[in-house]
């Protein structure tokens, strides 16, 4: 009793250490299906088509003066001397919701802060903005979802409208209106920069990504110095998006795994979801953003009404 059977071999009697558990690999982050950015794209194109329909150049000018009058009919473009971007007349844009200070402040048409983001001065303006929207916006919506990107787009566009409105006066006289989606688009670029900074640990080629993004932003801002381009909207949208990125686009640091994704029996070292500097950026960005919006609104609503005059448009035009 207690002895090994004579037929048992040394191999059968040997005791081996249990095999190590397989290496746990966290699931890849969820990719959202983008639908909001394509919807914004469709809305912008539809609004431009409607603006050309409402404009009806042949009814306002001699038919020979309208561009492509024979091919487009009532959708023909304004004469090149009036609108070199192949688009509608300024009164049409103004009627549809272009940005103008007196109408917002003294006629309480605050909806113009947002409707101007869906209007464009011409085909050239529209194509440039929509290419940028699809190139930047689709990827961001895939990573962060429609809710955060929608808030980012609208609030960045609002910031661009605020700063633009503060510079639509010259010597106390209103001389320009502003249209275009590029304030919101520059907000997406600004958010990409702050997202890179606040989620620094998850990027492999950090310096390469940072340099590439700074070069792209610099090239886009440089376009704002061209004639008839509203660089104030670009800068306002970029700054708004930059601070919003610290608030809306904060992601878990490298190595964090949600407990629901850890199978039973695995010993995975838990890390904090966010680091202290991410919370620090969030608080500072929120304070600066609220103060900036409050300052912009105060400056706009404490100004004096301008005199009515001929009102050329300013476009918001990123590359």
Q: What is the pLDDT of residue 22?
A: 57
Q: What is the pLDDT of residue 117?
A: 95
Report whether pLDDT(193) > 60: yes
Instruction: Please report which confidence band the pLDDT of residue 18 belongs to, taking 50, 70 and 90 as the band edges.
Output: low
Report whether pLDDT(306) > 60: no
Q: What is the pLDDT of residue 225?
A: 63
In the chain, how long is the greatest CA-to-CA distance? 117
**Shortest CA distance to 228 belongs to which of 113, 121, 98, 132?**
121
| Cβ–Cβ < 8 Å for 85, 94 | no
| Cβ–Cβ < 8 Å for 199, 273 | no
Name the token pair of 132: 């940028």
Between 198 and 155, the more confident residue is: 155
Q: Which of 182, 194, 232, 240 is catalytic?
A: 182
* Residue whose entry in the numeric block shows the structure tokens 């500097």: 277
pTM: 0.83
Report whether pLDDT(182) > 70: yes
**Shortest CA distance to 139 belongs to which of 210, 246, 36?**
36
CB atoms within 10 A of CB 253: 17
- DSSP β-bridge partners for residue 99: 178
Q: Which of 120, 125, 234, 317 is catalytic?
A: 234
Report whether pLDDT(45) > 80: yes
> Is position 194 annotated as part of the catalytic site?
no
| Coil, strand or helix at 89 | coil
Average pLDDT over residues 24-44: 83
> Is position 234 annotated as part of the catalytic site?
yes
pLDDT, tens digit, 9 for 90 and up, residues 46-95: 999 999 999 988 887 765 688 888 888 889 999 988 888 899 999 999 99
Pick the range with the lowest mean pLDDT from 56-70, 134-148, 174-188, 280-294: 56-70
Average pLDDT, the chain: 81
Instruction: Please report which confidence band the pLDDT of residue 252 belongs to, taking 50, 70 and 90 as the band edges.
Output: confident
**Shortest CA distance to 160 belongs to which of 134, 139, 133, 178?**
178
**Shortest CA distance to 98 belongs to which of 82, 81, 120?**
120
Intra-chain end-to-end CA distance of the chain, in Å: 89
**Shortest CA distance to 307 belongs to which of 107, 171, 112, 165?**
171
């Amino acid at each position: 009793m207690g002895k090994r059977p004579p037929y048992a071999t040394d191999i059968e009697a040997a005791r081996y250490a249990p095999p190590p558990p397989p290496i746990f690999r966290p699931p890849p982050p969820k990719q959202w299906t983008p639908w909001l950015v394509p919807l914004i794209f469709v809305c912008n194109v539809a609004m431009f088509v409607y603006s050309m329909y409402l404009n009806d150049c042949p009814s306002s000018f001699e038919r020979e003066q309208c561009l492509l009058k024979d091919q487009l009919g009532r959708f023909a473009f304004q004469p090149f001397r009036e609108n070199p971007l192949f688009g509608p007349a300024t009164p049409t844009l103004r009627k549809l919701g272009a940005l103008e200070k007196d109408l917002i402040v003294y006629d309480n048409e605050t909806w113009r802060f947002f409707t101007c983001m869906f209007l464009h001065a011409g085909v050239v303006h529209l194509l440039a903005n929509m290419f940028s929207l699809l190139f930047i916006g689709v990827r961001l919506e895939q990573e962060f979802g429609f809710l955060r990107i929608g808030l980012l787009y609208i609030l960045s566009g609002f910031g661009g409208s605020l700063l633009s409105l503060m510079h639509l006066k010259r010597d106390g006289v209103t001389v320009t209106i502003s249209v275009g989606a590029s304030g919101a688009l520059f907000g997406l670029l600004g958010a990409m920069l702050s997202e890179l900074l606040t989620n620094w640990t998850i990027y492999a080629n950090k310096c390469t990504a940072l340099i590439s993004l700074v070069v792209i932003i610099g090239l886009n801002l440089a376009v704002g110095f061209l004639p008839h381009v509203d660089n104030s909207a670009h800068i306002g949208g970029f700054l708004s998006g930059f601070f919003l990125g610290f608030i809306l686009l904060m992601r878990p640091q490298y190595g964090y795994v949600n407990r629901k994704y850890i199978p039973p029996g695995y010993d995975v070292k838990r890390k904090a979801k966010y680091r202290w500097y991410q919370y620090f950026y969030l608080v500072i960005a929120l304070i600066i953003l609220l103060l900036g919006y409050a300052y912009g609104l105060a400056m706009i609503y404490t100004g004096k009404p301008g005199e009515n005059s001929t009102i050329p448009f300013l476009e918001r035009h990123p590359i």
